[in-house]
């Protein structure tokens, strides 16, 4: 089964959190987080286009005690996942939620045959770089002055997906977590 056949994951629920597919009704909450998270936030229209028209894209939200506290999206390109967007609501950062969301998405798609994931991150985004390195992403190159708003460089990162590594990282994260 190719990745193109296996993108329709509905999500996962456990205890007080849920990860599920993003829907248009979620956009009001998501845009509040988006606007507090990025220099140049995506517009409502950008999300709508992704949700309605991009058959290669999937967006997931993280819900904790009924509230949307984060989200991420990816494009499926052959056996690769390209992360397009990820944010955790400011009040919920630094508690492991970002790593948790990425690891759950990695775990599912790794089991469906995805071999690697990639993303671009601003060279000055220390928190995100730290999270990605913790999850096994490695720097593969720079796109100079890629971000037109600040002229910042983009760091291109790749991670090879491996079931055992994902499980080990999930165990390490859960040992530390408050929940
Ligand atoms: C990047 C982001 C999604 C991470 O989510 P999160 O829930 O805060 O991440 P976690 O709690 O799982 O992990 C945060 C890690 O970064 C570390 N960290 C936080 N701020 C940091 C900083 N300024 N410099 C270095 N490390 C930092 C934390 O110590 C923690 O590492 P640890 O687990 O080893 O202690 C979140 O910060 C965010 O939404 N940022 C704004 C949007 C954004 O930049 N998205 C990424 C675009 S590529």
pLDDT of amino acid 65: 93
In 3D, which of 64, 52, 2, 56 has the Cα closest to residue 22?
52
Q: Is 106 exposed, middle or buried (0-12, 13-18, 19+ CB in 10 A)?
A: buried
Dump pLDDT digits (tens) for 79-96: 999 999 999 999 999 999
Distance from residue 129's CA to the centre of ligand 1 (Å): 8
The whole domain housing 138 covers 3-176
- Which position among 120, 139, 146, 147 bears the catalytic label? 120
Q: Whose CA is nearest to atom 30 of ligand 1?
A: 94
In this prediction, residues 162-172 reach a mean pLDDT of 96
Domain containing residue 102: CATH number = 3.40.630.30
In 3D, which of 149, 146, 90 has the Cα closest to residue 120?
146
Distance from residue 127's CA to the centre of ligand 1 (Å): 4
Other Cβ atoms closer than 10 A to 29: 16
pTM, rounded to two decimals:
0.96
Look-up of token digits 């950008």: 46
Number of H helices, E strands in the chain: 5, 8
- Which position among 59, 60, 71, 132 bears the catalytic label? 132
Other Cβ atoms closer than 10 A to 39: 9
Report which of residues 57 and 178 the model is more confident about.
57
Asked whether residue 147 carries a pLDDT value surpassing 80, the answer given is yes
Q: Whose CA is nearest to atom 29 of ligand 1?
A: 94
pLDDT of amino acid 3: 59
Residue 46 Cβ < 6 Å to ligand 1 = no
How many structural domains are present in the chain?
A: 1
Atom of ligand 1 nearest to the CA of 126: 24
Within the chain, residue ranges assigned H as helices are 27-37, 44-53, 97-111, 126-134, 163-176
pLDDT of amino acid 24: 98
Look-up of token digits 């890629």: 146
């Amino acid at each position: 089964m190719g990745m193109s056949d296996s993108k329709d994951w509905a999500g996962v629920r456990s205890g007080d959190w849920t990860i599920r597919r993003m829907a248009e009704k979620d956009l009001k909450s998501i845009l509040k987080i988006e606007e507090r998270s990025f220099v140049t936030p995506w517009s409502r229209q950008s999300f709508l286009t992704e949700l309605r028209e991009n058959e290669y894209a999937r967006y997931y939200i993280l819900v904790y005690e009924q509230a949307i506290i984060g989200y991420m999206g990816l494009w499926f390109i052959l056996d690769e996942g390209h992360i397009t967007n990820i944010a955790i609501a400011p009040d919920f950062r630094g508690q492991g939620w970002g790593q948790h969301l990425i690891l759950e998405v990695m775990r599912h798609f790794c089991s469906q045959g995805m071999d690697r994931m990639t993303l671009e991150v601003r060279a000055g985004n220390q928190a995100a770089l730290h999270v990605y390195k913790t999850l096994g992403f490695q720097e593969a190159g720079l796109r100079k002055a890629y971000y037109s708003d600040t002229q910042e460089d983009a760091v291109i990162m790749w991670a090879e997906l491996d079931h055992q590594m994902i499980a080990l990282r999930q165990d390490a994260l859960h040992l530390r977590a408050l929940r």
